[in-house]
Chains A and B, each alone.
Chain A
Amino acid sequence: MDFSVLVDQFFALTIDGIALGFIYSLIALGYTMVYGVLRLINFANSEIFMLGTFATIITSKNIFGYADDTEPLTGIKLVYTLLACMLASMIVCAIAGVLVEIIAYRRLRKTGSNRLTTLISAIGVSIVISETVRILTSSAPANNPRLLDKIYLISYMGSEFHIGSVRIPISAFEVRLDTLLVIVFAILLLICVDRFVKYSRLGKGIRAVSMSEQNSQLMGVNLNKVISSTFFVAGLMTGAASFFYTTVYESTKFNVGFELGLAAFTAAVLGGIGNIRGAFFGGIALGVLEIYAATIFGTQWKAVTAFVVLVLVLLFKPNGLFGESLQQARV
């Protein structure tokens, strides 16, 4: 257990945590929105994320033709290339989400299957997607060319001063361009989703269905349309997250979805599953916690952090910070 790095690099680590947290928030939306309308954990969301990461790389490498050692881009070229990659990921994930719903969940929803059956179907879909990609990529990782240069906008080395023999460190502080962009765009997207759900007609339909499936149908809501839209929007968010992830971490593999999915799901539960604003806070909280834990305990225990947080939340505050209770008996 080593606290010194945490103290010395506190602000830098916090910013990293926030950026990671926003990525989690966006993926968490994938879980929380689907849970809101279907009361189902969308296991396949983690693999949809993984597909998005590959979409980013395929766009930058195969469509734009950039190689691993390409020089970073500047100006307009940079902007439209990044935008194209982001849109590609978002659309791939959105479509994948809708397809997953149709293939794995719709029929079971219609026949009123119990939750165990639907859950197993979800797991099956998740496996099919990740295994297909594994076989196609022969388990090899894929790298993203560095189109956006990792420029440090602000960089402060950190210092310390002494009062007598007491050492008071001032943490290093740095803001990288890509980290900043992730944070800014994630906030924009989250605001968009929030507005969408609150004010748009479809958004209201989504909220109606999540409150009562029966009543919303009686009020004339087209259930299939609402559910497909939910998966579509959730996919858009997950796609954006996958683009940010690939840009910042620059590589991906067929199994990247598992750990991130688990973390994002934890974030959703932490914020209160089904609650969109909760996903926002849950993501940030978890991102920061994970970075701190990795610094203190070592990075090999990172996956364990999410799991421990998940168990603690489920045991002591199953509503999460803002959400509904998972424990309601139904009689």
Chain B
Amino acid sequence: MRKVLELKGVTMQFGGVTALNEVNLHVNEGEILALIGPNGAGKTTVFNVVTGVYKLTKGEIVFNGEISVVGKKRWQITEAGIARTFQNVRLFGEMTALENVITAGDVRSKSGFVGSLFGLPRSRREEKANKEKAIELLKFMGIDHVANKLGRNLPYGDQRRLEIARALGTQPKLLLLDEPAAGFNPSEKAALGETIKKIRDAGYTILLIEHDMSLIMGISDRVVVLDFGSKIADDSPKVVQNDPRVIEAYLGVPADAS
């Protein structure tokens, strides 16, 4: 199985704080990998180093077996095929839902400034194609009925779905979802779980940060557990759920202590 993403010896230090410590993990093509751990374990930091928000202190991150992420600019990483959503919804609030997704799709456009200004044929073709793709993505995520509503006016659930649609708009190979179910009730979470599986079945690879265990157990192929910046488990959901070290990390006491 091909490794879409590989982190080798990744260490991230901020001043005196070590957020990630020699982390080794990989994501296989077409799988849903869940990244879990107590608060402050470094999960979002992993997202941030993979997407180029932070500069790695040490280590290597390889995408698609060939491209090193380290040192690349953020838009280059997105262009290479990695997209993400955010823990707190960060839409372009003053754009419509459709515009949000179209903007993400622009990364695949070849036309430049001059093309847009003079309405050159390639620019017009790309505009049209981009818009059609965006509408399809909105339909796929079930929010095409709010296509022309401003991002900030959307209900919370639609905002979360729009974030995913926008990330998909960049036509990524690897999709990073940061707590996509935060604030959802159980039925919404179940629906989201189905949607994530649908996304994977459509050909995307997914790396997912989540706290809800039932959601994770239900959809993940594999689970990686972080604690204080180090990886403490990396296995199937069932195994990880029963791993005493994982239980201790969450509860703070050894599993058999009473």
A residues neighboring B (CB under 8 Å): 329, 331
Q: Does B191 contact A (CB under 8 A)?
A: no
Mark out the residues of chain B between 73 and 115 whose CB falls within 8 Å of any chain A CB in the assembled complex. Answer: 86, 90
Q: SS class of chain B's interface: helix, strand, loop or mixed? A: loop
Chain B contacts of A331 at CB under 8 A? 48, 53, 86, 90
In the assembly, what is the distance between CA of A72 and CA of B22, in Å?
A: 71
In the assembly, what is the distance between CA of A4 and CA of B48, in Å?
A: 54
Count of B interface residues, CB-CB < 8 Å? 4
Chain A contacts of B48 at CB under 8 A? 331
In the assembly, what is the distance between CA of A329 and CA of B90, in Å?
A: 14
Mark out the residues of chain B between 224 and 251 whose CB falls within 8 Å of any chain A CB in the assembled complex. Answer: none
B residues neighboring A (CB under 8 Å): 48, 53, 86, 90
Chain B contacts of A329 at CB under 8 A? 53
Q: SS class of chain A's interface: helix, strand, loop or mixed? A: loop
In the assembly, what is the distance between CA of A115 and CA of B86, in Å?
A: 21
In the assembly, what is the distance between CA of A329 and CA of B48, in Å?
A: 10
In the assembly, what is the distance between CA of A331 and CA of B90, in Å?
A: 9
Of chain B, the residue at the smallest CB distance from A329 is B53
In the assembly, what is the distance between CA of A328 and CA of B90, in Å?
A: 17
Of chain B, the residue at the smallest CB distance from A330 is B53
Chain A contacts of B90 at CB under 8 A? 331
| Shortest Cβ-Cβ A-B pairs, 5 listed | A331-B53, A329-B53, A331-B48, A331-B86, A331-B90
Of chain B, the residue at the smallest CB distance from A331 is B53
Chain A contacts of B86 at CB under 8 A? 331
In the assembly, what is the distance between CA of A111 and CA of B86, in Å?
A: 23
For residue B90, give the distance in angstroms from its CB to the closest CB of chain A.
Answer: 8
For residue A275, give the distance in angstroms from its CB to the closest CB of chain B.
Answer: 14
For residue B92, give the distance in angstroms from its CB to the closest CB of chain A.
Answer: 13
For residue B31, give the distance in angstroms from its CB to the closest CB of chain A.
Answer: 25
Of chain A, the residue at the smallest CB distance from B88 is A331
In the assembly, what is the distance between CA of A218 and CA of B171, in Å?
A: 42
In the assembly, what is the distance between CA of A320 and CA of B215, in Å?
A: 46
In the assembly, what is the distance between CA of A237 and CA of B48, in Å?
A: 40
Chain A contacts of B53 at CB under 8 A? 329, 331
For residue B130, give the distance in angstroms from its CB to the closest CB of chain A.
Answer: 25
5 residue pairs from A and B, CB less than 8 Å apart: A329-B53, A331-B48, A331-B53, A331-B86, A331-B90
In the assembly, what is the distance between CA of A331 and CA of B86, in Å?
A: 8
Of chain A, the residue at the smallest CB distance from B47 is A331
